[in-house]
Amino acid sequence: MLECALVFRRQGKNVIIAEQTSRHIEEIFIVPVCSILAQSPASYIAFLEEEGALGRALAIVAAANLKQPRTAELTRRKVRALVTEAEVKALAPQINTITDALSAAD
């Protein structure tokens, strides 16, 4: 299992993922996540980007007023929900294949 953190950085009106850094950072927002699908943080970021979850997470973080503790925690939960949704969608075809094989064996 991979344990990592999605690090969002606010630069002006833009929110980016940590790898795309610059010298001026107004705000940083961290969302700890765990995944059974990824073997490295880079591959996990690529997976989330491919599934569309990363773009949606960036939009959620960009729209949030992270200076309010409740809003920050709600935003973390929303980002984690997007991550979980992406993983479930990726695993669902595999689970259906296993379920079908078990049903056929009975």
For 33-85, the pLDDT digits (tens) are 888 877 788 888 889 999 999 999 999 998 988 888 899 999 999 999 999 99
**pTM (predicted TM-score):** 0.72
66, 70, 74: which is closest to 29 by C-alpha?
66
- For residues 18 and 7, the answer to whether their CB atoms sit within 8 Å is yes
E strand segments, 1-106: 2-11, 14-17, 27-35
For residues 32 and 24, give the distance between their C-alpha atoms in angstroms, rounded to a whole number. 23
User: What's residue 17's pLDDT?
Assistant: 66
Domain ranges, residue 48: 2-105
Q: Based on the structure, what is the number of domains in the chain?
A: 1
